[in-house]
A and B are shown apart, each in its own frame.
Chain A
């Protein structure tokens, strides 16, 4: 299919590599090494799978950011879901969440002990489970960035229309732009430009990054997930840094519009409210979350069960927080590949298929 193969063409990739090398030489001649952060977990996986990291000159480095939704979900959130399962609720979740370690155990452990934890493909599956089990509480684990928050939020009006009252959402939605602001403000984090997420941007729109670009003089480029998309994004950011420019560039205009997806944004406006959110390994970031708005709070699982998502204690040796902030790359963590592997993950970045540690473990790429 041309909309796939055309974005993986080898000669174009070699041409883009040549442009990257030229920009890299110019940066190196000035004694500069620049750090570009790919914020999205799917970009991290695409970069690792295509081997892009290994083709870059030493003056251009790629860092993985906090863009894997499972990875940034707090241990306390997992603990709360486990308590709900222990109280007899049916937990419906995307597959990645099942093996994420909480403070003491994971949902997979709870399921092995007889807990009712069901993996779904679409949030709409939760409606079906709730309709089929009218005598039981059904909790959907509503995690994710704006891309996932939009489909999940449709559950609120859908449940009301179908008069399904035994379904609730345990929300831990995350918003990307405030996380970028927090990373830029962290003096320990070195970022010179962002490769902005593709499908988050489809929901929130390209203009959502304008404050970051103009407020911090930081180049931001929105890229698709294909290898040529990512290489061209790196060319753009490197050339901006060579010339001292900081611009917002939408390289994924075939999907991302300046103002985003109006239907999704209307859903957020009607059913959700912006709140502070706790990011695993990073801490609380102001305005970086979305919770259920007051009129619809009867669908908030934390409230319905009287369970808090705070106070989780992840493994003290886990350095996922430093990986998520781009302070280290996964091979720098002492657990990586030893105590922490995909079959036996210590931290969430090794669990999710989008996690940086899982990507490095599977495809290599340490430098």
Chain B
């Protein structure tokens, strides 16, 4: 099962091992597929491995797009 929830890297113990956190829950993560990950990155974690970093600029742009749609919906509903 793919987890859609990005987890934040809070500690990098070695080049290939770290600790991720999501809403207070922490767990170990293997970083061998994301060697460039740095503390503070949001990571997509699958089967204990970070498989990709979340691009925050892309995520924020998409969130803004959805926020704009929500505004349009509210105006249309008035």
Contacts and interface: CB of A to CB of B under 8 A. Distances in A.
B72 interface: yes
The SS class assigned to the B binding surface is mixed
A225 B4 contact: yes
Contact of B54 (A121, A151, A255, A263): A255
Contacts of B72: 15
Interface size, B (range): 35 or more
B52 A122 contact: no
Contact of B2 (A11, A18, A150, A198): A198
Interface size class of A (residues with CB under 8 A): 35 or more
A228 B66 contact: yes
Contacts of B39: none
Q: Most chain-B CB neighbours within 10 Å: which of A9, A15, A203?
A: A15
Given A122-B30, A147-B2, A154-B30, A253 B35 contact: no
B47 A94 contact: yes
Nearest to A68: B1
A302 interface: no
Interface string B51-65: 110111011001100
A3 B59 contact: yes
A264 interface: yes
* Interface residues of chain A: helix, strand, loop or mixed (majority): helix
Interface in A1-21: 1-4, 6-7, 9-12, 14-16, 18
Most chain A CB inside 10 Å of its own CB: which residue of B48, B56, B67, B73: B73
Interface stretch (A41-49, A52-60, A291-299): A41-49
A9 B49 contact: no
Given A12-B70, A15-B70, A263-B32, A154 B49 contact: yes
Interface of B: 1-2, 4-6, 22-23, 30, 32-35, 42, 44, 46-49, 51-52, 54-56, 58-59, 62-63, 66-67, 69-74, 76-77
